[in-house]
Amino acid sequence: MTRSARLAYDEPYTDISPSHARSLGSRLFRWFSAPTRLEPEAVRARLLDTTFDRKFAVLFGTISVLLLAVSAIVTTDGWWPYAWIVADLILFVARVLLMRACEAARKRDATGPLGALMGAGAAWSVVFGLGCYGCIASGHMALAVLAALNVAGVAGVVSSRNAATPRYAIFVMLAVSLPYFTGALFSPAPGMSVIGIQMPFYLTGVIIVLLQNHAINARMIRAELDNRDLAIKDALTGLPNRISLQEILRSMCRGLAAPAANGGKPFAVLSMDLDGFKRVNDGFGHAIGDVLLRKVAQRLERAFRRGDMVFRVGGDEFVILLPVASEIEATYLAKRAIEKISVPFDLGVGANVRIGLSVGSAFAPADGGNPEILLHCSDQALYEAKRTGKGRYRAHIRVSI
């Protein structure tokens, strides 16, 4: 998320007409789920992944509420414990269903109802806080102590399990603590005002732990993503490498079995090899060869469409994946890449350097439905292009039986 986008979410939003309700909800979700510092979108997404993995905590919280509410029914004549039980059970069912929806969406690489899940959690914290206020307002010391233990327990659990979303976690802790704090501060019972005075100090300490946990989680995710980038990116050109190619190509091949996932259209695999690179590398040195490879990578990225993927798979070899591409489109793009690479390169060696590009292609599903076959077919076509004169494009020839 860019800085300008982040600031836009932090600006006040005053238009709450029905036509803007969805926009308001989206803004609230973005603000409450945002990290404490500006983070890449990938880090934020990984932090949010942990928000629905809390079934045990939700179940434990509901059991604690039911025990506390039943104690309130036994010790008081009020109606509010019954309302508390009904509200808690409704929210428990809603939160579990939303968690399951989020898990199902994650399996489809989609975005689940995280905003609704966080909203249900916020509603639960408000109801919990009001219930605990009823406990201390009842005047029963045992009930007040039980409520205090529950408030402290919820705050402690939130500080660890909700560390991924610190703003939301702080809201939850305030919602469960402030009603009890208010009731204790103004309670006529002896000694309760002392508890009310001490609660802000306890809450401050828990929030500090929360922020520390959040910083640790974000740092670990950043390190994991950095290591992931090192594993799937070519260090010289910054392009995705062979490992990344295999992962994405496997995913695209799986999509062939589900036409809706791939639009029902084929995709193309282009294998490429530079003509004359060894001459430049040997004649001017490896440093100039590296400069040439970086410039080639930049030209290839500009030669293809948005959404096409360029990989460096080793040496002067490149592979291009063209999602939803016909054979005519692939032929046009391959020839355009050959033209762009044939333009002389200024490498700072006193004279422009000329190299060429040979390209072979394979098409899915016509030439195969798994990565190994498709890469083998495109490599064969590349070999044929180089054999017939280099600087050429050849599609894989299918043998009819």
Across the chain, how many H-helices and E-strands are there? Answer: 14, 5
- Helix (H) / strand (E) containing 271: strand 267-275
3-state helix, strand and coil shares in percent for the chain, rounded to the nearest 5: 65, 10, 25
In DSSP notation, 307-329 reads T-EEEEEETTEEEEEETT--HHH
Dihedral sign from CA coordinates of 337, 343, 346, 351: positive
Q: What is the pLDDT of residue 369?
A: 87
Dihedral sign from CA coordinates of 103, 107, 108, 109: positive
| Full strand arrangement of the beta sheet holding 317-322 | 309-314, 317-322, 267-275, 356-364, 393-395
- Helix (H) / strand (E) containing 85: helix 80-107
Q: Are 274 and 316 in contact (CB under 8 A)?
A: yes
Which candidate, 87, 90, 117, 89, places its Cα nearest to that of 103? Answer: 117
Q: What is the pLDDT of residue 111?
A: 72
CA torsion 96-99-104-108 (nearest 10°) is 170
Class of residue 347 by CB neighbours under 10 A (exposed 0-12, middle 13-18, buried 19+): middle
Indicate whether this model's pTM tops 0.75: no
Give the model confidence (pLDDT) of 308-338 as tens digits. Answer: 999 999 999 999 999 988 889 999 999 999 9
Give the model confidence (pLDDT) of 187-218 as tens digits. Answer: 877 777 787 788 888 888 888 888 888 888 78
Question: What is d(CA 267, CA 325) in angstroms, rounded to the nearest whole number?
Answer: 5
Q: What is the pLDDT of residue 267?
A: 92
Which candidate, 72, 120, 63, places its Cα nearest to that of 94? Answer: 120
Q: Are 232 and 246 in contact (CB under 8 A)?
A: no
- Helix (H) / strand (E) containing 295: helix 286-303
Three-state DSSP class for 333?
Answer: helix
Q: What is the pLDDT of residue 7?
A: 28
User: How many beta carbons lie within 10 A of that of residue 128, not counting itself?
Assistant: 28
Q: What is the pLDDT of residue 54?
A: 67
Dihedral sign from CA coordinates of 183, 151, 31, 121: negative
In DSSP notation, 149-215 reads HHHHHHHHHHHHHTTTSHHHHHHHHHHHHHHHHHHHHT--STTHHHHHHHHHHHHHHHHHHHHHHHH
Q: Which residues of the chain have pLDDT under 70?
A: 1-25, 30-42, 44-54, 257-265, 399-401
Which candidate, 130, 120, 123, 128, places its Cα nearest to that of 65? Answer: 128
